[in-house]
Amino acid sequence: KENLGKTTQRLQIEAAPKTQPLAVVCFGPSLQKSWEYIVPYTDVLTCSGAHDFLIGKGKVPTYHADCDPREHKSAFTSHPHKDVQYLLASCVHPKTINQLKDYNLRLWNLETVEDYPYPEGEWAMPGVGCIGIQSLLIGRALGYYNMDIFGMDCSYAPDGTTHAGEHNGPFREEEMWVMVGTPPTQDNPSKDYKIFRTSLEFVIYAKWFMHWANNVMTDCQFQVLGSGLLPAMLEWESKKELTHAT
C-alpha cells in the first residue's frame, strides 16, 4: 500500500491488439551476441539487467518491468531514462519506486502475493515467479500478441557465465547438467542432443515458459531467439512434432 500511494498511474489493459511485435529482452548470456537484432524493433520491453545493457548499446527500451520485492533489484533501475515507461508490480521494494517516481512509472498488482494486498477495485495479474515469464503476461496486457524473446536462455554460457553482464544479488541454486535430445546408447550412438550447464531455478523457468506458451497464452505467438536450454527445448519439441506428422 505504501508503494501504491506514491503514484496514481496504473498499467491499463489494452483492448485493441497491436499489430507490431514486441521484443521481450531478458538478461541471459546470449544477449551479448543477439542484441543487435533488437535494434530495428520499435517496441521493446526489458527486464533485469537488460535495461542498462541495451541503453549502453544505444537502444532505449519502450518499457521496463519488474516484480521482485528484494532491495538489491533496485540496482537494475538505478540509472532511469526519461523515455522508458516503467511497469512495476506494487510489491517491489520501496527503494525501486522512490528512484522512479519522477519518471514514467505505472504500477500493477500481483494477485498471488499475500503480503502485499492491493486496494479493492484494482485489477491484479497472475504471478508466475520470475520477471522473464511475467513479462509475457505484461506484453499481453499491453495488447501484444506477437512477442520475440531475447536472452531467455535458462542456462549458462559455455564459459560458465550466468548473465549477459553483472547481475546484482545472490545466485543461490546449485549447478546441474541437462540434456536435450535423443540420448546416445551403445547400439544407437546418436548425436542429436545438446547438453547444457544450468541450475534448478533456470530449469523451472524453462518449464514455466513451456506451460504458459503451450497451455495458457495460446492466442499469442512467441519466438525465442538466441541460444541456450530453452531455445533447444523448443527446437526439440518442434522436431518431435515433425516426426509425428510424417
- Who has greater pLDDT, 141 or 5? 141
Report the predicted TM-score, pTM, of the whole model to 2 decimal places: 0.91
Report whether pLDDT(245) > 80.
no
Sequence-ordered strand ranges (E) for the chain: 22-25, 44-47, 63-66, 85-89, 104-110, 124-125, 146-150, 175-181, 193-199, 221-225
Q: What is the DSSP letter of 123?
A: -
State residue 167's pLDDT score: 79
What distance in Å separates the CA atoms of residue 152 and residue 24, rounded to the nearest whole number? 9
Report whether pLDDT(209) > 90.
yes
Q: How confident is the model at residue 128 (pLDDT cuts 50, 70, 90)?
A: confident
Q: How confident is the model at residue 243 (pLDDT cuts 50, 70, 90)?
A: very low
Mean pLDDT calculated for residue range 81-95? 96
State residue 90's pLDDT score: 92
State residue 240's pLDDT score: 61
State residue 77's pLDDT score: 93
